[in-house]
Chains A and B, each alone.
Chain A
Amino acid sequence: MKNDKFEDIIETEVLIIGGGLAGAYAAIKAKERGAQKVLIVDKSYVGKSGCSSFAAGVFTSFIPEEDDFDFWFKEIVNHGEYMNDQEWLGLHLSEVYERVREMDSFGVKFAKGKRGEFIRTPGRGEFKNIKFYGPQLMEAMRKRCEQNNIKLIDWVMMTDLVIRDGRAVGTVGFHCRSGDFKVFKAKSIVVTTGGCRFKTNLSGHRMTTGDGHAMLLRAGCEMMNLEINQSNLAAANFEMSGPGMNMYQGLGAKFVNRKGEEFLSYYDPVYKERTTLRMFSGAMAVETALGNNPFYIDMRHFSSEQVMLLKEVLPLPTKALERAGIIIGDKIVKQIEWLPIGPCWGSYGGGARINKNCETNISGLFVAGDASAKMAAGTNEMGAGALPNAAVTGAIAGRYASEYASEVGEYQLDMDAVGKLREETMALFNRRKGVDPEHAILSIQETITPYKVAIIKKEDRLKRALDQIADIRSTVIPYTYAVDPHHLRLAHEARNMALCAELFLHAALMRKESRGIGFREDFPFRDNVNWLKWIILKMSGQKVLSKTEDIPVERYKVRPESTITEHPLSLAGKSRGLKWE
């Protein structure tokens, strides 16, 4: 096939990959800043795709008139274990409320009091949350994009960036329904594809398969925080979309182990049931090592007003609870088995390293939302994770991508590169026999999901997992095939997840201390002397290049003590009678 025969190259000024909150925001701001042609492309449907549409009704925003800036700042850094880029955090806190008010003006519905003020209720930790009505948020954002003449292309999955002379000039992908190969040419590109959540059992997680991460890695983009994984929790035995755990915690849900003990007070005596996801997963892992699993969430004591509030703010998960016989009328009648799901780069943890303009090390390439390294968040979702981060970074990326597009001159796609990428993207579609993508997906999940890989880590186990992933990448992924365009998407998702899993394990092995959910049984100390460092990885061909960079704490407002202290999970485990291996 001739490389110069791509009649249907789609041209735009600013190209945004991913139609969640970060993508919609980037598009709106790019347009506001003067770009004429702005395009969002999504592998599903803009406004129904990814984690944003399944976000669980709470939005954490600092409100200048009500909150103490210094307190929020310090609290987020403490929870982020000093891994936060504090300059980014300052930027985040100064812009986040502006985004909330703006979304309000776009038609996003928030829970409001009589005077029109945002109603705030407690959630995790000290922060109060603003509430919104689940999927309505992204519906309003899509509508706003349409009103602003932003072009939307649904059902095209991007597979790779086209880089020419160190500059991002386009992308390639395929249509998930027709199977047609697609080529895009742009002056600047914003990647907002979400995290890599490995198709675990939450709705948003089922489709955020690190597509952006993988395409950025293959393009040589610098990535950061890849060793920091999040671990969400969900119902063990049925589907519950974005479960709304933060809401349940805020309303006073109890969590018990097999013996009926409210075990979290042993692990976080201050916040107990309102502790962080990280501590939840850690505590459940230790309790499991002690034989105290399974665990249950108990909300049977919720008042009918509380249940009605849940139904209003969380329309999708409460429907699941009704159909599963957990909610009957305005009562919650049963406990639910609850557990951490696999590791992920979600509202905090791994992604592209970006500067204050959301630019990467590749010219013309911007990243926002969960696809970025969540620079402000550190090792915790509280305060600066997921949706708030998507809104803030999305807006910044859009502004600067628009400026970049207005300044750059003539540009051309490298058609030889496009031709090669076409081969790579479509090859598995042409095969008549091959490995079921489902097998690839399961193999990856089985390798990284066990709690002794994802939550309680140790060098030998991580190495074993890394070997397994390397094996999957060489003996399974190259032989997957696709019977139709739907399976082509699954096969590419598996390919992207495998690369992300490898980089996650690679980075996890590098950090020889315990921080975040990266609890290392063999290094059970939080080492502020040697490990106040960011790990930065990038790929060169098949090789992973790594470096560490000292976190410039001396420049920062909140400075940690230079000490080596035993990790709280190690201490709690010992006090519960666990003998670490």
Chain B
Amino acid sequence: MGIRRINEALCTGCGICVDHCSMDVLRMDDERNKPLIMYLRDCMSCFMCERDCPVGAIYVVPTRERRIPLPW
């Protein structure tokens, strides 16, 4: 499930997760000032957003979101 939950009660809308997601999975909802999980298929469960969230609002699991061919 990749990035699984953004706890909006904790989230301050600082936007660090949106900046630090190198796969461009997250975008800011400008009206509500909260991040949106917009492109889940590109989430690679790198845990950077969870690590960098200053209030611990994000929870990630390492489930693969994209089918990737394996060598055998």
Contacts and interface: CB of A to CB of B under 8 A. Distances in A.
A203 interface: yes
Give the bracket for the number of chain B residues in contact with chain A: 20 to 34
Given A206-B23, A319-B50, A199 B68 contact: yes
Give the bracket for the number of chain A residues in contact with chain B: 35 or more
Interface of A: 44-45, 48-50, 53-54, 135, 154-155, 176-177, 199-201, 203, 206-207, 236-241, 285, 288, 293, 315-316, 319-320, 323-324, 339-342, 438, 442, 445-446, 449-451, 454-455, 486, 489-490
B23 to A, nearest CB: 6
B51 A445 contact: no
A450 B68 contact: no
B62 A238 contact: yes
Contact of B71 (A45, A199, A438, A455): A455
A340 B70 CA distance: 8
Contacts of B71: 285, 288, 339-342, 449-451, 454-455
Interface in B17-72: 19-24, 27, 38-39, 41-42, 44-48, 50-51, 60-72
B22 A53 contact: yes
Contacts of B44: 201, 203, 206, 239, 241
A342 B21 CA distance: 24
A456 B31 CA distance: 54
Given A53-B48, A238-B63, A323-B60, A154 B72 contact: no
A293 B66 CA distance: 23
A316 B27 contact: no
A46 B27 CA distance: 17
B72 A445 contact: no
A490 to B, nearest CB: 8
Given A45-B22, A206-B44, A315 B72 contact: no
Contact of A200 (B39, B60, B68): B68
A445 B39 CA distance: 20
A490 B68 CA distance: 15
A177 B51 CA distance: 23
A320 B62 contact: yes
27 contacts: A44-B24, A48-B20, A53-B48, A176-B24, A199-B68, A200-B68, A206-B23, A206-B42, A206-B44, A239-B44, A239-B45, A239-B63, A240-B45, A293-B72, A323-B60, A323-B62, A339-B71, A341-B70, A342-B69, A342-B71, A438-B41, A449-B71, A450-B69, A450-B71, A454-B71, A486-B24, A486-B39
A442 B63 contact: no
Highest count of chain A CB atoms <10 Å: which of B24, B46, B71: B71
A154 B45 contact: no
Given A45-B19, A48-B22, 8 more contacts: A48-B21, A199-B66, A236-B70, A288-B71, A315-B47, A319-B60, A445-B69, A486-B24
A241 B47 contact: yes
